[in-house]
Amino acid sequence: MTRTGGAGAAAVATARKAVLPLALAQFVASYAASNMNVAISSIATDLDTTVTGIQTTITLFTLTMAALMIPGSKLTDIWGRRFCFLLGLVVYGAGALLATFAQGLPLLMIGYSLLEGVGSALLIPPIYILITVLFDDRTTRAKYFGVVSGAAGIGSAAGPLVGGLITSAVSWRASFLLQVLIVAAIAWMGRGIAEPPLPSHRPSFDGIGAVLSALGLFFVVFGVLQSGAYGWGRATQDYVIGGAVIIHQGGISPVWLYVAIGAVILALFFAFVWMRERKGRVPLVSVRLFANLTSNLGLLTQNLQWLVLQGAFFVISVYLQQARGFSAIETGLLLMPATVGLLLSSAAAPRMARRHTQRRLIRFGFFLTALGLGLLLALGGTRPSLWSFLPGLFVMGLGVGIMLTASVNLVQSAWPESEQGDISGVSRSVSNLGSSLGVAIAGSLVAGAVPGGGQYFWALVMVSGFALVGWVAALLIPTTRQNGRPAR
């Protein structure tokens, strides 16, 4: 058992060595979600598919992570944190290798969306749980939470630039091959990670709860994806399944049919886990985790942060490539101001956390993010020039970097160590659901982009609206947590 509280220098050094492979793994998983954006045109052309097909592939990757993150977190209590981490790396690496040699969209979806998504759902929860169990001291723990959260933000921000460089210099396939090599290196570094032994009595796995939660999230996001083809209000064309017209043109959009199905399944999920818990059996996730106002608002801000970041990156990337004819490297370079802003604010996050409450940082972060999106709209309009992107992207990157770590710390610190496994899974699931919804919602307006900026403009307006919702949610975070201690 390697913990820092009261441990010798050797044990402390061993615990700190574990942080590097954990942070690198979080970086790669976040990079995988954003680097695809700059290669949309290249992949669509190479695989003879459409922008909508690539949008669906990206969305399904983050959706798979969101749907399986809570079950993946629960498995860490059964199989062990290090085992799940290493197993996740193996599955992820296999998916990246398959995507490298994919000759069509179906194989790309299996490798990237499915296997990389499953691998991420297995390896990400142990990252945050291991940080919790390896470091007793709250200050040190918060520091390393900042390291892995910063790695997530940097991976998302650097994805377009690094992906653009690799795609332009070699091929989009080389980006997947690079992930295989990095994952192999992480597995080698992580083989010596020590962890406290698991209890002799391990919980059973709630398979029904896992299926219900995954199906519910799938139908919600799948429904949103239909908006690109059928619209949000009335169906713009007949909705046909197996040759039968389910919804006629002019009827309600199938978006709401699938969202309603997803909502019903999620309601059944919560009812099921509540009944299972009342009977004294271990549920997939305790309903108690949703009874804390501070934690709930923190989870909402996490969801909206990733929705705004991934949604904005997808919109801008599609516009530049489809409407302006930019290459992958040109797109990545134009998005670099956001990367620079995020790097600067992430580097300053530990110092800011010592001077300000987490609540204040989240509020200020959303304010800057909304301001950055406002600058993009005000300076660019429907036909933005290249220079009009720079101020808005930089300010948006600053804002996201300021609040990423703060939201994670707010949620994790709202619960005792005994609940860290479950809340880590919920936290990561909510964040990845935000990424999935960001691409799906914003992409519904620009996936079929035509020359001109009308779709781009209104998609950014939509993303800006979510940033304002996040700011309001941050304003509602209470000054004190429910147990009376100061909100951090």
Tracing tokens 């574990």 back to the chain, one arrives at 18
Q: What is the CB-side half-sphere exposure of residue 209 using CA atoms within 13 A? A: 23
> What angle separates helix 336-355 from helix 389-412, to the nearest 10 degrees?
40
284 SS3 class: coil
Q: Give the pLDDT mean for 313-327.
A: 80
78 located within any domain: yes
Q: Give the pLDDT mean for 239-267.
A: 89
Smallest CA-to-CA distance from 284 within 74, 46, 31 is with 74
58 and 109 share one domain:
yes
112 and 231 share one domain:
no
**CATH classification of the domain holding 21:** 1.20.1250.20
Helix residue ranges, H only, 18-113 = 19-34, 40-46, 51-79, 81-100, 105-108
Task: Give the per-residue pLDDT at 326.
Answer: 80
Task: Give the per-residue pLDDT at 345.
Answer: 84
Q: Give the pLDDT mean for 152-179.
A: 85
d(CA 259, CA 231): 14
Q: Give the pLDDT mean for 302-331.
A: 84
188 and 106 share one domain:
yes
d(CA 380, CA 315): 14
pLDDT classification of 457: cutoffs 50, 70, 90: confident
Q: Look at 197 and 8; give whichever has higher pLDDT.
A: 197
Other Cβ atoms less than 10 A from the Cβ of 461: the count is 13
188 located within any domain: yes
Take residue 276 and report the two structure tokens written for it. Answer: 């299972």
Smallest CA-to-CA distance from 372 within 319, 335, 419 is with 335
Last residue of a domain, one of 257, 283, 309: 283
Q: For all residues of the chain together, what is the average pLDDT?
A: 83
275 and 248 share one domain:
yes
d(CA 427, CA 433): 10
352 and 457 share one domain:
yes
259 and 342 share one domain:
no
64 and 432 in contact (C-beta within 8 Å)?
Answer: no
Take residue 65 and report the two structure tokens written for it. Answer: 């992570």
The CA–CA distances, whole Å, from 174 to 35, 50, 93, 170 equal 12, 21, 14, 6
What domain range includes position 222?
207-283
Global pTM reads: 0.79
pLDDT classification of 275: cutoffs 50, 70, 90: very high
2 located within any domain: no
Last residue of a domain, one of 236, 262, 283: 283
231 and 339 share one domain:
no
Q: Look at 107 and 356; give whichever has higher pLDDT.
A: 107
323 and 383 in contact (C-beta within 8 Å)?
Answer: no
373 and 467 in contact (C-beta within 8 Å)?
Answer: yes
- The torsion angles phi and psi of 104, rounded to 5 degrees, stand at -160, 170
Local structure of residue 414 (DSSP, 8 states): T
124 located within any domain: yes
321 and 235 share one domain:
no
- The torsion angles phi and psi of 234, rounded to 5 degrees, stand at -100, 145
1 located within any domain: no
pLDDT digits (tens, 9 = 90+) for 147-158: 887 787 778 777
Task: Give the per-residue pLDDT at 13.
Answer: 61
312 and 352 share one domain:
yes
pLDDT digits (tens, 9 = 90+) for 403-451: 887 888 888 778 876 676 678 778 878 887 888 788 778 777 765 444 4
- Lowest-confidence range among 65-69, 146-150, 176-180, 284-288? 146-150
Helix (H) or strand (E) holding 213: helix 207-225
Beta strands 239-241 and 244-247 are antiparallel
Last residue of a domain, one of 239, 258, 283: 283
246 located within any domain: yes
486 located within any domain: no
196 and 218 share one domain:
no
Domain count, the chain: 2
pLDDT classification of 486: cutoffs 50, 70, 90: very low
60 and 187 share one domain:
yes
231 and 336 share one domain:
no
d(CA 253, CA 98): 35
Q: Give the pLDDT mean for 351-380.
A: 89
Take residue 35 and report the two structure tokens written for it. Answer: 């680097």
406 located within any domain: yes
Q: Give the pLDDT mean for 204-219.
A: 89
